Amino acid sequence: GTTGAAAGNAAGGTIKVGGDLELSGGQAMFGQEAQNGIKMAFDQINAKGGVLGGKKLTLDVADNKSDPGEATIAATKLVGDNVVAVIGPMTSSLVAAATPVVTDSKVPLITPSGTNAKLTMAAGGKVQPYIFRPCFIDPFQGQVGAKFAFDTLHAKTAAVIIDQKSDYAKGLADTFIANFTAAGGKIVDQEKYASGDKDFTTILTRIKGTNPDLIWLPGYYNDDGLIVKQARDLGMKMPFAGGDGWDDPSLFKIGTPEALNDTYYVDHVANDSPDMVQFVKDYKEKYGHEPNAMSALSYDSANMIINAIQTANSGDPAKITAELDKLTGFKGVTGEITIDPKTHNPQKKAVIKENKNGKGIYLTSVSPS
């Protein structure tokens, strides 16, 4: 009786949205940034009087401990609490674990940053009816990255470093390799590490032996910073490139700005783009530090739900799902989002940034082909 209960919920003074988030465990950073972003969106709408004529939005969070089993449990708990929609998990594999639960209960789920292509697709090529996201997907990132490396950086050979524990990194690596070789480039080495490692000198030494023109490093910023720094310390001067996982202000503190010169990454949005300015300012004011892509995408996810509730004029999960399904031209801080009903992926531009003396500088933007 989810629907009935949810209606009852809507009749009260609040509407509950679930957060299936990585609040502890290995990816606790993501969940906490996401929670900040979502809360900010809710606080803003509640300050404006809420939705559906005065109902306040509340976030019902369940910690998935960065573990897929726990993500299932957290999702079960949330749908049991009669939330109208779920935001999170942030990481692809956990989204996959939560998917059956929300699907069974017919509650929509938006993953702010699960970029794995398969998340929104069910077996047999059909779309997962209840899974949505505000972010572009890994193949697109990999494709953009490969094209940039080959055409703009004129790299003919490349080595790839993959975080073996991350589905995301694997997806980005696969599409990069496919597109780079298709363009005529050559992959000279592939190395793996596990996120959380601190010492990468051994794999870097191996790559050094193959002397590639570029290193494709689709990991998260805390690993990326360390890897680049250690590579430079080993006398490796080639450019690095990677995906949106690079986007975080602390990248330059982890690796030195100097080491990070001549590195590039694909991203959702430039922090200095007009859409982001206000968000960055508000966020810094509220939480005392700069947001990263996780916070921004989560903020957008929350607003997508608010938007769906308002346009549907209802707190019924089925109606919210229907609205999300046909979302077009939604103005998020990370760009304009239009959901493709066949894939539930947004059509979004990607930007490429260059790290220069401690700042990610906007280079160019690429539209989906």
Partner 1 sequence: MKVLNRKNLAILLAVLVAYGGIQAAIAARLVPPFYSVNLMLICVYVILATSLNLINGVTGQFSIGHAGFMAIGAYLSAIVSVKLHGPLGAAILAGAIVSAGVGFLVGLPTLRLKGDYLAITTLGVGQIVQVVFFNTNYVGGAAGFTVPRTVNWTWAFWLTVISIVIIHNFTNSTHGRACISVRENEIAAEAMGINSTKYKVMAFSLGSFFGGIAGGLYANYMYLIQPTTFSFLTSFNILVMVVLGGLGSMTGSIVGAVVMTVLSAYLSNFPEWRMVVTALLLIVMMLFRPSGLLGTKEFNLGFLGKKGESRAA
Partner 2 sequence: MGHVLREGLQQVVNGLSMGSVYALIALGYTMVYGIVKLINFAHGDVMMIGAYVGWLATSRLHMSFVPALLLAMASCALLGVIIERIAYKPLRNATRVAALITAIGVSLFLEYGNMLVASAQVRSYPPVLPSVSYKVGGVYLQYGAIVIFGTTIILMILLTLTVQYTKIGKAMRAASFDKDAALMMGVNVNSTISATFAIGSALAAAAGVLYGAYYNTIDPLMGIIPGLKAFIAAVLGGIGIIPGAVVGGLVLGLTEAAVSALGASTWRDAVAFLILILVLILKPSGLFGKNVREKV
Q: Enumerate binding residues for partner 1 (CB under 8 A).
A: 1, 21, 23-24, 26, 61-63, 66-69, 72-74, 76-77, 79-81, 92-93, 96-97, 99-101, 105, 116, 164-167, 170
Torsion of CA 113, 114, 115, 121, to 10 degrees: -140
Cβ proximity to partner 1: between 66 and 263 the closer is 66
By CB under 8 A, tell whether 202 contacts partner 2: yes
Distance of CA 62 to the CA centre of its chain: 19
Comparison of 6 and 251: residue with beta carbon closer to partner 2: 251
Please, which residue, 164 or 364, has the CB nearer to partner 2? 164
> Does 203 engage in binding with partner 2 (CB under 8 A)?
yes
Residue 104, Cα to own-chain centre: how many angstroms?
Answer: 25
Question: What's the min distance (Å) between Cβ of 81 and partner 1?
Answer: 8
Binding at 253: pick from partner 2, partner 1, none (beta carbon under 5-8 Å per type): partner 2
Q: Measured from the CB of residue 254, what is the shortest distance to partner 2 in angstroms?
A: 5
328 forms part of the interface with partner 2 (CB under 8 A): no
Question: In the complex, what is the shortest distance from the CB of residue 196 to partner 2, in angstroms, rounded to a whole number?
Answer: 6
Distances (CA, A) of 8 to 15, 82, 302: 10, 10, 21
Which region among 41-49, 99-107, 200-208, 296-304 touches partner 2 (by CB under 8 A)? 200-208
Which CB, 169 or 214, lies closer to partner 1?
A: 169
- Give yes or no for a contact between 228 and 240, defined as CB atoms under 8 angstroms apart: yes
| Site residue total, partner 2 (CB under 8 A) | 33
Q: Which does 250 bind (CB under 5 to 8 A by kind): partner 1, partner 2, none?
A: partner 2
Query: Binds 297, which of partner 2, partner 1, none (CB < 5 to 8 A, cut-off by type)?
Result: none
- Packing angle between helix 201-210 and helix 221-233, nearest 10 degrees? 60
CA distance 361 to 174: 26
Q: Which of 142, 296, 139, 113 is nearest to 218 (CA)?
A: 142
Interface of this chain with partner 2, residues 294 to 323, rule: CB under 8 A: none
Q: Which does 226 bind (CB under 5 to 8 A by kind): partner 2, partner 1, none?
A: partner 2
Amino acid at 163: D
**DSSP string for residues in 165-215:** T-HHHHHHHHHHHHHHHHTT-EEEEEEEE-BTB---HHHHHHHHHH--SEE
When binding is defined by CB under 8 A, the residue of 209, 237, 329, 367 that contacts partner 2 is 209
Inter-residue contact 361 to 369 (CB < 8 Å): no
- DSSP state at residue 128: P
The interface region with partner 2, picked from 107-115, 125-133, 189-197, 306-314 by CB under 8 A, is 189-197
Shortest Å distance, C-beta 210 to partner 1: 22
Contact indicator for 171, 115 with CB cutoff of 8 Å: yes
Q: Which is nearer to partner 1, 5 or 182 (CB)?
A: 5
Per CB under 8 A, 127 contacts partner 2: no
Strands (E), 195-260: 214-216, 240-242
Q: Which is nearer to partner 2, 14 or 24 (CB)?
A: 24
SS3 state at 269: coil
Can you tell me whether residue 109 is helix, strand or coil?
strand
Q: CB under 8 A: which stretch of 71-79, 198-206, 270-278, 309-317 binds partner 2? A: 198-206
Is residue 172 within 8 A of residue 138, CB to CB? The reply is: yes
203 binds, among partner 2, partner 1, none (CB under 5 to 8 A by kind): partner 2
Helix (H) or strand (E) holding 147: helix 138-147
- Residue 93 site contact among partner 1, partner 2, none (CB < 5 to 8 Å, cut-off depends on kind): partner 1
Assess contact for 110 and 86: CB atoms under 8 A.
yes
- Cα–Cα separations (whole angstroms), residue 187 to 176, 180, 191, 207, 216: 10, 8, 11, 11, 10
Q: Does 164 bind partner 2 (CB under 8 A)?
A: yes
User: What is the three-class DSSP state of 232?
Assistant: helix
Interaction site with partner 2 (CB under 8 A): 24, 26, 28-29, 32, 164, 191-194, 196, 198-199, 201-203, 205-206, 208-209, 222, 225-226, 229, 233-235, 250, 253-256, 289
